[in-house]
Homo-oligomer: A and B are copies of this chain.
Amino acid sequence: VERIPGEALPELKARSGGPGSPTVTIYDVAAAAGVAISTVSRVLNGFGNPRPETKERVLRAVKDLGFVPNGAARGLSSRTKATIGLVFVRTLTEGPVERMSLMFADSVIRGAERAAEAQGYSLLLRGVQINEAAEPINILTGKTDGLLLLERVIPERKIAELAKRFPVVTVSGSGGARHAVSVRADNNAGISSVVDHLVEHHHLTRLAFVTGASESPDSKQRANAMVSCAAAHGVSLGPDDVWQGDWTIGRAGQLVNEYLDSRKPLPEALVCANDETAIGVMHALMERGVQVPGDVAVVGFDDIPIARYLRPSLSTVNQPTERLGHVAFDTLIAMLSGATPARQILLPTTFIPRGSCGCG
């Protein structure tokens, strides 16, 4: 089977069957109001100075007939679809138990949606499996005016290629692609403040880090920051002190259990790439009778809403997730009007000490 771009249109069987009254067009409105369609268009879009009476008649007709402009026609004519696509990574697993918890993505989506509304745009949502995103993204190109790419949905090289011909902003991407603007949280500062706190305030020296999914730019940045910040404090993290997680609660628990089974001495603090991982770590630890923060301090990243309600409450790094989406969206819109924003936009992160590290 050959690959055909644009994928076949879903076919509608009965045009008569379901609801959907005979579409009312701008012509109907014009007729009802006794004017030309151009007048209707002008009134609706606020151009020119229509005579009050004319305007009145048009608006009345619009209301009477329940006219709503056809977005497709609009888009075709105005060359602006007023729609932005947002692509996020969807995990493969279906199972209820180990379904990846993607609160981060959800939150970013919320922020983008908000911004979209404020700008009069629509948000088109598209989940993809990692490394199978090329075609979907290509198609989205035809339905939108620009694209928001969450995390590393496609290889950097492809992003660069795409961004050359289509407006693209990446959120929490690695930010290496030319032409594409990247918006992300200040991972370095976040991790740095965690390490500072752990070392200086709690005087801990044996630290370990649990990563997120291996391809994730955020995860990589946080891991790197962890290693270098620790080194800056004279604390060294060996390979054994960086545990490969995958963002999920389940995987985190698994890691902890394996470690405990190995009977190696636990580190004094476990810093996690995200809050879900921290939750999994805490849960597994306590399940095995290890006290948090008594025996091991645990710190997360993201500051999801429940973090403060856990027992112990979760020390974590707050990143403005909704704002990430919002800012990314606004940046994309700016690009559409010809602006060339900074290639990287960093949003601040702040460490929130709570119970799981021994504060609070």
Question: A residues bordering B, Cβ < 8 Å?
Answer: 2, 4-21, 43-46, 59, 62, 66-76, 78-83, 90, 96, 99, 101-103, 106, 109-110, 113-114, 117, 119-127, 136, 138-144, 163-168, 179, 249, 279-280, 283, 286, 305-306, 309-311, 318, 333, 335-340
Q: Which residue of B lies closest to A333 (CB)?
A: B10
Asked if B101 and A305 sit within 8 Å, CB to CB, the answer is yes
- When the two chains form the complex, which single residue of B7, B68, B83, B125 contacts A6, counting CB atoms closer than 8 Å? B68
Asked if A72 and B62 sit within 8 Å, CB to CB, the answer is no
Asked if B46 and A8 sit within 8 Å, CB to CB, the answer is yes
Asked if B4 and A46 sit within 8 Å, CB to CB, the answer is yes
Asked if B143 and A125 sit within 8 Å, CB to CB, the answer is no
Given the interface pairs A14-B337, A165-B21, A338-B17, the reply to whether A5 lies near B69 with Cβ below 8 Å is yes
Hey, which chain B residues are within 8 Å of A101, CB to CB? 305-306
Hey, which chain B residues are within 8 Å of A163, CB to CB? 19
Hey, which chain B residues are within 8 Å of A279, CB to CB? 306, 309
Asked if A337 and B164 sit within 8 Å, CB to CB, the answer is no
Distance A10 CA – B74 CA, assembled complex (angstroms): 12
Hey, which chain B residues are within 8 Å of A66, CB to CB? 165
- When the two chains form the complex, which single residue of B19, B110, B165 contacts A127, counting CB atoms closer than 8 Å? B110
CB distance from A82 to the nearest CB of B (A): 6
Hey, which chain B residues are within 8 Å of A17, CB to CB? 337-340
